[in-house]
Amino acid sequence: MRRLCLVILFGFAASLAQAQTVTTERLVNSEREPGNWLNHHGNLEAHRFSALDQINRENVKDLKVAFTFAMGGTQGGGKEIITFAYSGLEGTPIAEDGYLYLTTGWGVVTKLDTRGGVPRVLWTYDPAPDRDYATTVACCGINNRGVVFGGDMVIGPVIDGRIIALNKTDGTLVWEAQVADPGISETITGAPLIVKDMVVTGMAGAEFGVRGWLEALDINTGKRIWRTHMIPGPGEPGHETWKDNHDAWKTGGASTWITGSYDPELNLIIWGTANPGPDWDNAYRPGDNLWTDSTVALDADTGEIKWGFQHTPNDPYDYDSINENTFVDTQINGKFTRATIHSNRNGYVYAHDRATGKCLWATQFVDKLNWSGGLDKDCRPNAYDPNSDIQSYVPGTAAGRGTATEGRGTIEGVLEPGHMGGKNWPPTTYSPHTGMYYIPTIEGCNKAVTDIEVPGKFKHRQLFLGGYPFTTFDDPNCGRISGSITAINVSDGRVAGKYHTKHPQLGGLLSTAGGLVFSGYAAGEFVAHDAETLEPLWKFETGSAINAPPMSFMSDGKQYIALEVGLGGAWPQWFVAATPELKSQVPSNILYVFELP
């Protein structure tokens, strides 16, 4: 025991000597430090691109395991309402000077010293959420997507709605703030975004009838600076799009559970919002339901919404617009443009002018899509009926009440892409070397039914869904769900390539200057693809399903690729029947780090 303590103290002293303040300037200019991974998405533009090229097309075949680290945190929890057998891993490690900072699904933070190629634990901090209570207010697993750097701290979420700030040198608690209210089913699973001297955080809970928001906290104290609700209240622009007479806006969803992006020159934060609530009974909430299913741009200093674009008005499909927004400055349609690129659950990828919100192009990225009737010149669904307050889009795709006035609806919808979306939360990547934007795609369809919601029925901490999706793998018309990696040319929005996979892409992507795109497959394979052709060049079997995106960093002058392995989240709960092989996958909760010999 004494020797172990000495080893940890030696590592601790070394970390003290190398600690640097992660300033706003460093975060904004993170590309100048390709050996570090300073922001959650790599940079503030959400490229998830590594400029390191030691590992490349020519030598990736020699990639091998450098080390593994058992992260733990597989413990489940929950009783009465929802039971989760285990937690998984959805996080992205952050890295500075050879030190990695990791989180488990329960929010336990660990600092690893990777120098020398053998990991050493320097400290661990357990925020100790109530494992039984937390699971009663979570729709889709015990998740935590990581911490971020801010000053001399690492700052991250806890599922029970706290944001914690830890001294990055010794792991001691600097401050914590109870931001979300788990008493009304608000939780936090996404990594925050550091903007100037603020910690900007979203929240989860749309399946429980919350009213979504973004909040900015003082980075030094955790005190609130501003909070902006994503659903406008009475007297605010957009409130008129809630046309019911029972205050559906109060339980209307629009949570904000994936990390947004920041443009320091425009001083804009751009973030995606989740589905309206109830998810499948859109007759309960007539109107377009702003700003659910939307991309919104906010003034960073005040939180004021400057523009918004709604992708699926009065959504009957659970088609979140929560996915990350990737900033690209390039020639689009022959003109230099500062764009934000967003791949939506509804099967379309959109490019918007990030200063004005104008849609520049939109492209179908899934193989099959049946709900919209195409898009018009403003990137709106052709099947949208402006004269109706309750949208059914293309007949037969949306579940609905039909002739029923209570109980279960009489319409069953068959939808392509399915209710998990053409892309779920696992992040895209953009390579400035190829000019391609790569999407981890879910291919297939599923069905849904409506359970009619009535005013007065809603109760806090009970699921507020208005129906549910379902599928069976042996259904000849709508069965097995597969996947692909889809490459989009950002200059014109065309699909430049597609590589199909047996299972949906549930882990997210990383592109590199070595001409590679890395992907963790749902059945456990970690694969390096050629960034030009998408053909696999290398594969490693991890032995456990992957639900987290890879990243790259440098330690002692050597490039490494890191990946957290351990299936959790929504797939085992809602959609595993469409991928029966994944029922046997286990949440190993192991960090894999790869190197060249």
Shortest CA distance to 440 belongs to which of 507, 493, 382?
Answer: 507
Q: Please pick, among 281, 293, 318, 320, the residue that the annotation labels catalytic.
A: 318
Residue pair 163/148 in contact (Cβ under 8 Å)? The answer is no
The CA distance from 342 to 425, in Å, is 11
Residues 180 and 203 sit within 8 Å (Cβ to Cβ) = yes
**What letters, b where the CB count within 10 A reaches 16 and e where it falls short, cover 308-341?**
bbbbbbbbbbbbbbbbbbbbbeeebeeeebbbbb
The one-letter amino acid code at 472 reads T
Exposed e or buried b for every residue in 136-165, given b needs 16+ CB within 10 A?
Answer: bbbbbbbbbbbbbbbbebbbbbbbbbbbbb
Contact present, 115 and 130 (Cβ < 8 Å): no
Polymer length of the chain:
597
Nearest-angstrom CA–CA distance, 421 and 527: 23
Distance CA 89, CA 104 (A): 6
Amino acid identity of residue 534, one-letter, is L
**Integer Cα distance of 208 and 278 in angstroms:** 8
Amino acid at 526: F
**DSSP E strand boundaries for 168-245:** 173-178, 193-195, 198-201, 213-218, 224-229
DSSP string, 155-166: EEE-TTSEEEEE
Three-state SS across 260-285? CEEECCCCEEEEECCCECCCCCHHHC
Determine the Cα–Cα distance for residues 157 and 176; give it in Å rounded to an integer. Answer: 10
**CB of 144 closer than 8 Å to CB of 134:** no
Residue at 512: amino acid letter: T
Work out the number of other CB atoms within 10 angstroms of the CB of residue 292.
32
Query: Whole-angstrom Cα distance, residue 524 to residue 539?
Result: 10
Main-chain phi, psi angles of 90, to 5 degrees: -130, 10
C-alpha 534 chain-centroid distance: 23
Please answer whether residues 479 and 578 qualify as being in contact, where contact means their C-beta atoms are separated by less than 8 angstroms: yes
Gap between the Cα atoms of 268 and 255, Å rounded: 19
Q: CB neighbours (10 Å) of residue 368?
A: 12
**Cβ atoms of 182 and 161 closer than 8 Å:** yes
Amino acid at 417: P
Q: Give the whole-angstrom CA distance, residue 140 versus residue 106.
A: 13
Q: How far apart are the first and last CA of the chain?
A: 33
318 is catalytic: yes
Active site residues: 318
